[in-house]
Amino acid sequence: MKKYDYLIVGSGLYGSTFACMAARSGKKCLVIDKRSQTGGNLYCENVEGINVHKYGAHIFHTSNKEVWDFVNSIVEFNRYTNSPVANYKGKLYNLPFNMNTFYQMWGLTTPETALAKIEEQKREAEELMCAEGVSEPRNLEEQALLLVGRDIYEKLIKGYTEKQWGRKCTELPAFIIKRLPVRLVFDNNYFNDKYQGIPIGGYNKLIEGLLKDAEVMPDTDFFHDRERWMNIADKIVFTGKIDEFYSYCFGKLEYRTVRFEEEVLSTPNYQGNAVVNYTEATVPYTRIIEHKHFESFGAEVYDNPYTVISREYSTEWSEGMEPYYPVNDTRNSQLYQQYKELADMEENIIFGGRLAEYKYYDMAPIVESVFKHFND
């Protein structure tokens, strides 16, 4: 008899949701995490009474009612609606591309005139490519021009995308942008999902609730005492890096990361919105997040005389940095497949979450994937 039914390596959303579901079915879990706090990338730190998203701004969104009801059964979510604004050379544009954006860009007030303008610019791009004898877009720039035309591309896509990927749009593959939806309504709600929000009191409340019936050991790295942890439970749920689990035997997987520059300001309201994207190439950061706007609305914003902002710099990843985004190129996909083949042969180890599956996952699909595990 082992001491636990499950050893869960990592207290991020995958590990914590797994711990909650396992406890609900009467299982005993130990959750270890190498960080000093739980919650993985959802972790928030309280700074001047404001929940600061330490590993990047997180907005929960889903159309899956089961997932929404589940997270709300742990902690109630607020009414936050993501409606980012783009700043291009000091001029502001609403996102996603909608009638507000088209009014700001061209002064057009009707869906018919906005659509005609976009179609005209798309046609110009097509004609230009035709004249060059190009039938399929050869790169992201050509793809974006065909989808939305030059004005939207140059003001709202080009600089931001180049900063995000650290490469020129003409050097990025076309497939990165499959669709660029334009909305012919005055609607700044970024997501199409039915439900969205932020846990009232912050994400730490969600994680605390999910972990309430598990034993939790922070500051504990699985690899520092691998032998012990491998034998402490009937099954292991591993949510760390899959290549590290196999001692990088096939080579290292690569990532892109984000560097956050945090600042506390003695002003109650810096930019009037949680998310402002900087879409010109000469501004080095991609976005400024003002954290208090995730949880205080209207006049409440002024209850706290301080605010906290984070400038986000998209950066090449190297050892020691946070591995945020998997790189979906051929080398890394093939490498991951090699590790996955080893993982598929394990009988008592479940590999789950963004690092173990080397996959970008939003939060709701993480919860769905834990549900799937328990339903199968």
Active site residues: 179, 183, 256, 287, 312, 360, 362
Region from 3-11, 135-143, 301-309, 329-337 binding ligand FAD, contact rule CB under 6 A: 3-11
Tally of CB atoms within 10 A around 328: 13
Region from 84-92, 184-192, 268-276, 358-366 binding ligand FAD, contact rule CB under 6 A: 358-366
Residue 14 touching ligand FAD (CB under 6 A): yes
Region from 38-46, 73-81, 105-113, 302-310 binding ligand FAD, contact rule CB under 6 A: 38-46
How far apart CA 222 and CA 13 sit, in angstroms, is: 18
Task: Mark out the alpha helices in 192-258 (DSSP H runs).
Answer: 203-210, 226-230, 242-245
SS3 content of the chain, % helix, strand, coil (to 5): 40, 20, 40
Which helix (H) or strand (E) segment is 349 a member of?
A: strand 349-351
Beta strands in 166-282 (DSSP E): 195-197, 215-217, 233-238, 255-265, 275-278
Among 67, 85, 366, 370, binds ligand FAD (CB under 6 A): 366
Residue 13 touching ligand FAD (CB under 6 A): yes
Question: Please, which of residues 320-349 interact with ligand FAD by CB under 6 A?
Answer: 324
Tell me whether residue 67 or residue 140 sits nearer to ligand FAD (CB atom): 67
Among 7, 59, 216, 276, binds ligand FAD (CB under 6 A): 59
Residue 83 touching ligand FAD (CB under 6 A): no
Tell me whether residue 31 or residue 125 sits nearer to ligand FAD (CB atom): 31
How far apart CA 174 and CA 143 sit, in angstroms, is: 6
Site map for ligand FAD, 205-234, x if CB under 6 A? Answer: ----------------xxx-----------
Pairing label, strands 29-32, 44-47: unpaired
Among 99, 242, 355, 367, binds ligand FAD (CB under 6 A): 355
How far apart CA 276 and CA 17 sit, in angstroms, is: 31
The encoded tokens of residue 232 equal 């402490």
How far apart CA 367 and CA 17 sit, in angstroms, is: 7
Site map for ligand FAD, 235-254, x if CB under 6 A? Answer: ----xx--------------
Residue 40 touching ligand FAD (CB under 6 A): yes
